[in-house]
A = this chain, B = another copy of it.
Amino acid sequence: KAQFEDCRCKCVCPGDPHSKHKVNVTVVSVPALECTCQHVTGRSELECLRCECKFEVRSTTIIKIVVIFVLVLIGVLLAYLIALLIMDPGMLKRSETDRRRQPQEVLYQDAAEVAPGSSYFGRRLGRVGSAQKRWQHKVKQQRQDVFQDHTLLS
């Protein structure tokens, strides 16, 4: 896997005008100091005049981490979405006009109800559940605004 180095020296020279090939590209991975046309292409100083040598650095590690992170994130979100859809199949379709924008107190009461009669873990879970409910409620409102009422972001 030596081919995924993190630095390269790229020399581009115009090809011989008489031949068919137009460009002569040389790419090697050498340290910065050695990235000179003469050293890389083995041409004479004079022949090197028209060449462009660039030393470039990249980080494949960052790319790897980012891409895998993004893939995992998409996967998790997808799984969560599927889970939600299984629990509530009409989620994306249902018209919420009647039930939406119910007074906030109801939701808070839900949370309050769970709270007293359970253990710390239960409370914790209850709180998470209530937070999730509140969040879902918010998302429903947003969905209503954007997709049904078209009052926002249309």
Q: Residues on A close to B: CB < 8 A?
A: 45-46, 49
Identical copies in the complex: 2
Q: Does more than half of chain A's interface fall in helix, strand or loop, or is it mixed?
A: loop
Complex CA gap A49/B45 in Å reads: 10
**A46: B residues at CB distance < 8 A:** 45-46
Sample 4 A-B pairs with CB under 8 A, ordered by A number. Answer: A45-B46, A45-B49, A46-B46, A49-B49
Complex CA gap A31/B18 in Å reads: 32
Complex CA gap A45/B49 in Å reads: 10
**A45: B residues at CB distance < 8 A:** 46, 49
Complex CA gap A72/B49 in Å reads: 54
**In the complex, how many angstroms separate the beta carbon of A38 from the nearest chain B beta carbon?**
12
Chain B residue at minimum C-beta to C-beta distance from A46? B46
**In the complex, how many angstroms separate the beta carbon of A51 from the nearest chain B beta carbon?**
13
**A49: B residues at CB distance < 8 A:** 45, 49
Complex CA gap A45/B46 in Å reads: 8
**In the complex, how many angstroms separate the beta carbon of A41 from the nearest chain B beta carbon?**
17
